Amino acid sequence: MKTFLRYLRISSLALTCAIGLAACGGYSALTLGGTVSGLTNSGLVLANGGDTVSVPANVTSYAFPNQINVGASFHVTIQSQPQHMTCAVIDISGTAGTTSTTNINVACAQNSYAVGGTVSGLTAGGLVLINGADVVTIAANATVFTMPAKVPDGSVYGIAVLTQPTGLTCSVVNGTAYMAEAAVTGVQVICVPV
């Protein structure tokens, strides 16, 4: 009988400990996600192993559909970039339970490309070209130019002459268009004597 009572006490103590631990709110699985900044276009898909999540344009947070077990490692990558943008994952990997699983943040930016072209007839100095607030001085006898600031994909660029060179009149051909998904090298600056 004493053995039975001892067994009963040990069993009830074990049951009490189990209930107490369950009441502590311990987690066996955690949500994996984070914030998103700068995403204005669709097409972003994130991956963690075989688990993927499509992130719509203009959202500020995301979460993978499946939770990950405590103790499991994670490594979030970009499976597909959004249209006309490049995104990067910040704090991409860790272990659930020892590393935060809710601050795997994603930062996106519009793709930008250089604008430039050819110069002909520039025998004197003083030519200054402008594109919005972007300005560049072209040296005498130059045959090519590139504007200092890149232009975001889908934005309008408009190269114009801000200051004419000494004794010459320069004009711009193909200087205005929408920026496509590549650097522009077809702008022509043609200079002739006054």
Residues 63 and 129 in one domain: no
Residues 137 and 101 in one domain: no
Amino acid at 155: S
Q: State which of 78, 94, 110 marks the end of a domain.
A: 110
Q: How many domains does the chain have?
A: 2
Q: State which of 71, 92, 110 marks the end of a domain.
A: 110
Residues 103 and 119 in one domain: no
Residues 47 and 116 in one domain: no
pLDDT at position 132 is: 96
Which residue stretches of the chain are H helix?
A: 2-23
Helix (H, G, I), strand (E, B) or coil at 191: strand
Residues 103 and 122 in one domain: no
Write down the number of H helices and E strands in the chain.
1, 21
Phi-psi group of 167: left, alpha or beta (phi > 0 → left; psi -120 to 50 → alpha; rest → beta) = left
Please list, in sequence order, all residues whose beta carbon lies within 8 angstroms of the beta carbon of residue 34, skipping any fewer than 6 positions away.
61, 62, 91, 102, 103, 104, 105, 106
Range of the domain at 99: 2-110
Q: State which of 110, 136, 167 marks the end of a domain.
A: 110
Please, are residues 33 and 96 in contact by the beta-carbon 8 Å criterion? no
- Residue 170 sits at φ, ψ, to 5 deg, of -110, 145
Residues 143 and 158 in one domain: yes
Residues 73 and 118 in one domain: no
**pLDDT (tens digit, 0 to 9) for every residue of the chain, 194 residues total?**
565 445 445 544 443 443 333 434 456 899 999 999 999 999 999 999 999 999 999 999 999 999 999 999 999 999 999 999 999 999 789 999 887 888 899 999 999 999 999 999 999 999 999 999 999 999 999 999 999 999 999 899 999 999 999 999 999 999 999 998 999 999 999 999 99
Residues 51 and 64 in one domain: yes
Residues 89 and 7 in one domain: yes
pLDDT at position 1 is: 52
pLDDT at position 20 is: 39
Residues 98 and 131 in one domain: no
Please, are residues 168 and 136 in contact by the beta-carbon 8 Å criterion? no
Which letter does DSSP use for residue 24 in this model? T
